[in-house]
Amino acid sequence: MREKIADRSAEIAVIGLGYIGLPTAIMFANAGFKVVGYEIREDVVKKVNSGTSHIIEPEIEDMLRKAIENGNLRATSDKKEIAGKDVYIICVQTPLKEDKTPDLSYLENAVRTTAESMKKGSLVIIESTVPPMTTLRMAKLIEDITGFKAGEDFYMVHAPERVMPRRIFKELVYNSRILGGINEESAELAELLYRTFVKGQIFKTNSTTSEMVKLMENTFRDVNIALANEFAFLAHQYGIDVFEAIELANTHPRVKIHMPGIGVGGHCLPKDSYLLLSSAKEDFGLIKKAREINEDMPLFAKDLLIDALKTINLPVEEAIVVVLGLAYKGYSDDTRNSPALKFIEEIKDIVMEVRTYDPYVKGTHENLEDALKGADAVVIATDHPEFKTLDWQALGRLMRNKILIDGRHVVKNPPKGFVFKGIGRGEY
């Protein structure tokens, strides 16, 4: 296997061609390996084989076309085409069920497919984010299906992905990687493989540690955002601007407070702390509480809106509200778990009308001026750069009443003539 990796003759199957799997397959193909992407969605297979990407990501179209044209990458939904490969890289989704427990059905299916396809000596890599000890459980599942012995007849590694959408092709190369092997040989083989395009540092460890590392990274961010949100809640009661306080606190050499806001969205942060807790018998409760705080932040924005409507004596049921931004973060079109959507869910049955405007998201108002005509309140839910330079005096003239709720600290100076409330902005 070592020689095959060194001379690029190792054949690779990537299971799942989503946000992570497709760029990963492209990177290995462009590093000189023959890669087959196995994907259950036939529309994705068709698109990839025609050289077009189904995900939006800078550079992806060129990189994909190159991989397809040089004959190193093709996609398939036919299991037979991934039989007998040297390496299997699993990149399927690991979401939560309704009850917030992990839904590992996609992963288990992908591992079954791998077990039914692999040969003696194959290296199996899980890139998906998984609860601690999952890789060991999946190794056992492969042993049960194949009769092979883990660590001897096949190798297995958890190689968590740490890229950020919009920077994927840079971060795949320059981020450091954690490779958690079920044994040392597994981690060493994976290191040789990733070294073919990774320029960042590579750290080897065991698979449960690498699973924890990935989940701890995202939980760290989630808990710290919750702490900032708690500070924002307190600042309202003390009548101060929490952003000024945070800026001042962060002048301390060992303090780095995160930013509060209307909530935490995206594919990963809202689920990863639940994945972290899911394999444990007990915990202290801090992580759950942080998640609860972040999940409730859209309700905080709703309270600010209702307070503002009271200020102008407009009954809530008569209000026309415009939500600016549906994406979970600025510059992005991704609305997965977006707090904007939760906020809309919370208010849509109590106000007269909710309109949306997001220059990055299809299906919202095409034009901000149209959205604002005759409206009573604007709620900023995403920190898109376009929202930072709006002329509120001009926009206010289009509105019936002038309420501005800032959920993302986008408006630094409250515009004159508006009832302004912002998360963390205390009293004005």
Ligand X SMILES: NC(=O)c1ccc[n+]([C@@H]2O[C@H](COP(=O)([O-])OP(=O)(O)OC[C@H]3O[C@@H](n4cnc5c(N)ncnc54)[C@H](O)[C@@H]3O)[C@@H](O)[C@H]2O)c1
Q: What are phi and psi of 201, to 5 degrees?
A: -75, 150
Question: From the candidates 214, 329, 342, 402, which is the catalytic residue?
Answer: 214
Task: Give the interface segment with ligand X, choosing from 13-21, 253-261, 286-294, 300-308 (CB under 6 A).
Answer: 13-21
Residue at shortest CB range from ligand X = 18
Which residues from 80-139 bind ligand X, rule CB under 6 A? 91-94, 106, 109-110, 113, 128-129
Q: What are phi and psi of 45, to 5 degrees?
A: -60, -45
User: Cβ closer to ligand X: 4 or 54?
Assistant: 54
Task: Give the interface segment with ligand X, choosing from 39-47, 285-293, 298-306, 362-370 (CB under 6 A).
Answer: 39-47
At 204, list the tokens: 């080897």
User: Cβ closer to ligand X: 17 or 399?
Assistant: 17
Specify the long-range contacts of residues 253-258, CB closer than 8 Å, at least 24 apart.
257/224, 257/227, 257/228, 257/231, 258/221, 258/224, 258/225, 258/227, 258/228
- 214 is an active site residue: yes
CA 227 – CA 230 distance, rounded (Å)? 5
Centroid of chain to Cα 190 = 24
Residue 56 beta carbon to ligand X: minimum distance, rounded to whole angstroms:
12
- 362 is an active site residue: no
3-state secondary structure of 246: helix
User: Cβ closer to ligand X: 42 or 353?
Assistant: 42
CA 154 – CA 147 distance, rounded (Å)? 11
Residue 273 beta carbon to ligand X: minimum distance, rounded to whole angstroms:
12
By CB under 6 A, name the one of 10, 12, 14, 18 that touches ligand X: 18
Distances (CA, A) of 83 to 32, 61, 78, 114, 396: 20, 28, 10, 9, 63
- Whether the CB-CB separation of 242 and 232 falls below 8 Å is answered with yes
User: Cβ closer to ligand X: 24 or 356?
Assistant: 24
Distances (CA, A) of 95 to 106, 116, 334: 9, 24, 16
Question: From the candidates 34, 91, 204, 268, which is the catalytic residue?
Answer: 268
Q: Kindly state whether residue 329 participates in binding ligand X, applying the rule CB under 6 A.
A: no
Task: Give the interface segment with ligand X, choosing from 143-151, 161-169, 296-304, 314-322 (CB under 6 A).
Answer: 161-169
Task: Give the interface segment with ligand X, choosing from 37-45, 65-73, 182-190, 195-203 (CB under 6 A).
Answer: 37-45
Environment class of residue 395 by beta-carbon count within 10 Å: exposed (0-12), middle (13-18) or buried (19+)?
Answer: buried
Which residues from 235-274 bind ligand X, rule CB under 6 A? 267-268
Which residues from 163-202 bind ligand X, rule CB under 6 A? 163, 165
Amino acid found at 356 = T
Q: Which residues bind to ligand X, rule: CB under 6 A?
A: 15-21, 38-41, 44, 91-94, 106, 109-110, 113, 128-129, 161, 163, 165, 267-268
- Active site (catalytic) residues: 214, 268
